[in-house]
A = this chain, B = another copy of it.
Amino acid sequence: MNVPHMPSDDFQRIGAQLLKLISDYHRALQAGEIVVRPDVQPGDVAAMLPDAPPPHGEPWDAIVEDIQRIVIPGVMHWQSPDFFGYFPANASYPAMLADLLCAGLGVQGMLWQTGPACTEMETRVLDWLADMIGLPPAFRSNAKHEEGGGGVIHGTASEAVLTALVAARHRAVTNGAASSDALVAYTSTQAHSSVMKAARIIGLPEQRVRLIDTDAALAMSPSALRAAMGADAASDRSPFFVCATLGTTSTGAIDPLAPIGEIAHTHHAWVHCDAAWAGSALICPEHRGMLDGVEGCDSFNFNPHKWMLTNFDCSAMWVSDRQALLSALSITPEYLRNRASDAGAVIDYRDWHIPLGRRFRALKLWFVLRHYGVEGLQAHIREGVRLAEIFESLVAEDDRFEMPVERSLSLVCFCLKRGDADTRALLDRVNNSGACFLTHTIIPAPASGGTEPRFVIRMAIGGAHTREQHVRAAWDVIAREAAGI
């Protein structure tokens, strides 16, 4: 039989249908016609899918119908303006169009040769982005391909920290300064779980990852870091890696880069900065205070796919010395050799990350940056922060509530003074109401303000279409449900 490829006319027709479906979906989300959290139980979606694969091709009408019947009612609606859970995962029309074009071109950019534009556009837009967030010149590629710094797009911040750990270990061990059995890594008790996961992956035993205590604002304590690194060094262990966080996942705490960098450097340790969420705020100069000391970082990462309107997956990472990455990750089998690479004239991004193959993700940043412009993206960040300030003041005015930690950018953590059981009940009631969706965390003592950890609700603002009305409506529901407990 002939291969039943989709005719070009059908592609355009069904594509237009999907564009409309997506538009309608977002219109319905923005109109509040869709409950954020889907009404499905484990197994419900699976029960609607046949047990066996389709032996013959099926008509597109059936497929499009199933999108409406099975898919849309079965997803969490991350793009709803009433979604305040986790952190936002901003989608935008320009980024969606870029994902379409990326798929349409079908380029696999593992080497410069296999995608010159894929490679050079990535280098350039990451230079732009480094500029936009105020990174020092060392992190820019400046089109020098054999030395200096530069940026790369990963899928997730988890991959960025893993890559940083591998490069750090390679540098520490090949410098002859350390045995791989003696390496110790440091991060705060509040760091993202991906740091511990990456440590596990590289084979660093749990007891050689020190979770450093934090201060009352849940930021890493430099004195605790200094003590821990000093004690390890004095015991013939080799401090080799520190992961600082700008904007922890739990509460948005900001680790102080300047003292951390200073302490780390006395031990020649690599400093990675995980700004996965908060990094987007750096495009606004008024939030760049947290960058103080960033010149002491060896690598820096943030996710435009969280709060910068660039659809998942787009995690930007920069290094100040690309050689550390390249020497740790580059392996060249014969079948990948080519003249441009052999001449050292180009960047081959396969050596900058875990995977070999890669999509043309730079298109997403290029579309988003050009459509919104720097000022448009700044407006989005500022709106998120402004709405969080409003929410913060609403909480502050209600004496049933308290905020054990301060608002961080667009994240507000709050709880009922009556205690954890009531706060947990409140979160359930609010989410069950269908009006909005929020998630929680636990704040350890003594940052919790007492001797016990506190359960708090996280209000993470920053959705692309979240407006003041949505934030006020969420508060109204919270205040009302609190009264009913």
Given A19-B16, A340-B42, A356-B158, the answer on whether A93 and B6 have CB atoms closer than 8 Å is yes
Which listed residue (B119, B333, B383) contacts A193, Cβ 8 A? B333
List the B side residues contacting A99 at CB < 8 Å. Answer: 99-100, 102-103
Within 8 A of B (CB), among A103-141: 103-108, 112-121, 123-125, 127-129, 131-132
CB atoms of B203 and A4 under 8 A apart: no
Q: Is the CB of B95 within 8 A of A78?
A: no
Q: Which 9 A-B pairs have the closest CB atoms?
A: A74-B117, A91-B106, A22-B104, A53-B128, A99-B103, A203-B203, A156-B355, A45-B120, A6-B93
Which of A194-202, A398-406, A473-481 lies on the face that meets chain B? Answer: A194-202
A321 close to B (CB within 8 Å): no
Whether, in the assembled complex, A418 has its beta carbon less than 8 Å from a beta carbon of chain B, the answer is: no
B-side contacts of A233, CB under 8 Å: none
Task: Tell me if A232 is interfacial: C-beta within 8 Å of chain B.
Answer: no
Q: Please tell me if the beta carbons of B105 and A86 are within 8 angstroms of each other in the complex.
A: no
Q: Which of A355-381 contact B (CB under 8 A)?
A: 355-360, 363, 367, 369-376, 379-380
Contact yes or no, B313 A201, CB < 8 A: no
Question: Chain B residues with Cβ under 8 A from A63's Cβ?
Answer: 367, 370-371
A108/B89 contact (C-beta < 8 A), A74-B120, A372-B4, A458-B335 known: yes
Contacting pair B336 A369 (CB below 8 A): no
Distance of A142 Cα from B480 Cα, bound (Å): 43
Chain B residues positioned under 8 Å from A127 (CB to CB)? 51
Q: Are B71 and A117 in contact (CB under 8 A)?
A: yes
Cβ of B45 and Cβ of A117 under 8 Å apart?
yes
Q: List 6 A-B pairs, Cβ < 8 Å.
A: A8-B26, A12-B20, A63-B371, A67-B101, A72-B105, A73-B117
Give residues 254-288 of A contacting B (CB, 8 Å). Answer: none
Q: Which of A237-245, A388-396, A435-443 contacts B (4 or more CB under 8 A)?
A: A435-443
The answer to whether B23 touches A115, judged by C-beta atoms less than 8 angstroms apart, is no
**A15-B16 in contact given A25-B104, A335-B439 (Cβ < 8 Å):** yes
Known: A334-B440, A370-B57, A375-B1. Is A313-B49 also a contact (CB below 8 A)?
A: no
The smallest beta-carbon distance between A158 and chain B, in angstroms, is 5
Q: How far is the CA of A249 from the CA of B383 in the complex (A)?
A: 50
* Inter-chain contact A166/B201, CB cutoff 8 Å: yes
Question: Residue of B at shortest CB range from A250?
Answer: B335
A311 interface hit (Cβ, 8 Å): yes
Known: A57-B372, A374-B54. A115 touches B441 (CB 8 A): no
> Please, how many angstroms separate the alpha-carbon atoms of A335 and B44 in the complex?
25
> Cα distance A359–B78 when bound, in Å?
12
Closest to A9 in B: B23
Known: A46-B120, A53-B131. A58 touches B370 (CB 8 A): yes
Query: Is A216 on the interface with B (CB-CB < 8 A)?
Result: no
Is A335 a contact of B371 with CB atoms below 8 Å? no
Chain B hits for A115, CB < 8 A:
75-76
Is B46 within 8 A of A143, CB to CB?
A: yes
Across-interface contacts of A169 in B (CB, < 8 A): 203
Number of A interface residues at 8 Å Cβ cutoff, please give it. 157
A182 beta carbon closer than 8 Å to chain B: no
Residues of B within 8 A of A363 (CB): 71
Residues of B within 8 A of A249 (CB): 333, 335
User: Do A18 and B89 touch across chains, with their CB atoms under 8 A apart?
Assistant: no
Residues of the B chain whose Cβ atoms lie less than 8 Å from the Cβ of A93: 5-6, 8, 10-11
A177 within 8 A of B: no
Q: Is the CB of B328 within 8 A of A200?
A: yes
Determine if B379 and A3 form an interchain contact, defined as CB atoms under 8 angstroms apart: yes
Contact A313 B359 (CB under 8 A): yes
**Does B373 lie within 8 Å of A56, measured CB to CB?**
yes
Is A231 engaged at the interface, CB distance under 8 Å to the other chain?
no
The reply to whether A75 and B117 form a contact with Cβ atoms under 8 Å apart is yes
With a cutoff of 8 Å between Cβ atoms, the chain B residues found around residue A214 in the complex are none
Beyond A6-B93, A157-B356, 18 additional pairs, beta carbon < 8 A: A1-B375, A5-B465, A6-B94, A11-B19, A11-B96, A12-B20, A12-B23, A15-B19, A15-B96, A26-B104, A40-B117, A46-B124, A71-B101, A79-B105, A91-B104, A156-B354, A197-B331, A334-B440
A26 to B60 Cα, complex, angstroms: 21
A162 at the interface (CB under 8 A from B): yes
A86 touches B129 (CB 8 A): no
Question: Which of B12, B76, B201 contacts A113 (CB under 8 A)?
Answer: B76
Q: Report whether A200 and B42 are in contact in the complex, using a CB–CB cutoff of 8 Å.
A: no
A116 near B312 (CB under 8 angstroms)? no
